[in-house]
């Protein structure tokens, strides 16, 4: 009976997104629009974030590719493939930022925007990592401090 009341894995995934939707809905309902702030400010942030995180995560995966390639007879081939992916990301970033003020979030030059993007993404990833560690720490602490789920009565019943 208890098994039927358990939330499914889909509910866990919805739990990841639900607070974001709730924050947007609540803020929009209580305060309305932010003066002088709209979708034109959000789009460059999403685009810059996508491009920068693609390069940073690809670079991290490139390190893993080194160990993968080591276990194969032609270790340079997959590493070469991943370097191409990182370079495509880098060129795409420079290309899109060069298209004009579209992706320049108040920064004067492409170089300044690139450096800002890297700093911005590192700080965001730090915040994400810290929140993940806090969640896992609380989870682990509650599990180690809970009473044992194995009771003596169940052993006696089995006997």
Restricting to residues 50-109, which ones interact with another protein according to CB under 8 A? 50-54, 57-58, 61, 63-65, 68, 72, 77-78, 81-82, 85, 89
Asked if 32 is part of the footprint of another protein (rule: CB under 8 A), the reply reads: no
DSSP 3-state percent helix, strand, coil across the chain (nearest 5): 75, 0, 25
Q: How far is the CB of 159 from another protein (least distance, A)?
A: 22
Among 1, 4, 12, 156, binds another protein (CB under 8 A): 12
User: Mind giving me the DSSP string for 3-63?
Assistant: TTTSPPHHHHHHHHHHHHHHHHHHHHHHH-SPTT-SHHHHHHHHHHHHHHHHHHHHHHHHH
Asked if 8 is part of the footprint of another protein (rule: CB under 8 A), the reply reads: yes
* Cα 140 to Cα 81, 134, 136, 144, distances in angstroms: 39, 10, 6, 6
Give SS3 for 108. coil
Apex 66 CA angle, 84 and 61, nearest 5: 60
Among 7, 153, 156, 157, binds another protein (CB under 8 A): 7
Among 1, 4, 16, 159, binds another protein (CB under 8 A): 16
Q: How far is the CB of 79 from another protein (least distance, A)?
A: 9
Among 1, 4, 20, 29, binds another protein (CB under 8 A): 20
Among 1, 4, 30, 100, binds another protein (CB under 8 A): 30
Binding mask 124-143 vs another protein (x if CB under 8 A, - otherwise)?
xxxxx-xxxxxxxxxxxxxx
| Alpha carbon of residue 143 to chain centroid | 26
CB 82 within 8 A of CB 62: yes
Q: How far is the CB of 106 from another protein (least distance, A)?
A: 10
């Amino acid at each position: 009976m208890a098994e039927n009341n358990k939330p499914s894995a889909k509910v866990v995934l919805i739990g990841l997104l639900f607070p974001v939707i709730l924050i947007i809905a609540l803020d929009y309902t209580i305060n309305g629009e932010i003066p002088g702030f709209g979708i034109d400010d959000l789009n460059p942030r999403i685009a810059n974030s996508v491009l920068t995180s693609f390069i940073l995560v690809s670079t991290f995966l490139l390190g893993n590719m080194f160990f993968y390639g080591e276990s194969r007879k032609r270790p340079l081939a997959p590493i070469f493939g991943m370097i191409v992916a990182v370079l495509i990301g880098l060129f795409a970033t420079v290309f899109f930022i060069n298209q004009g003020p579209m992706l320049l979030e108040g920064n004067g030059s492409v170089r300044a925007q690139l450096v800002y993007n890297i700093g911005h993404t590192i700080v965001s990833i730090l915040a994400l990592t810290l929140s993940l560690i806090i969640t896992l720490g609380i989870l682990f602490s509650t599990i180690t401090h809970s009473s044992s789920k194995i009771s003596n009565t169940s052993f006696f019943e089995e006997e």
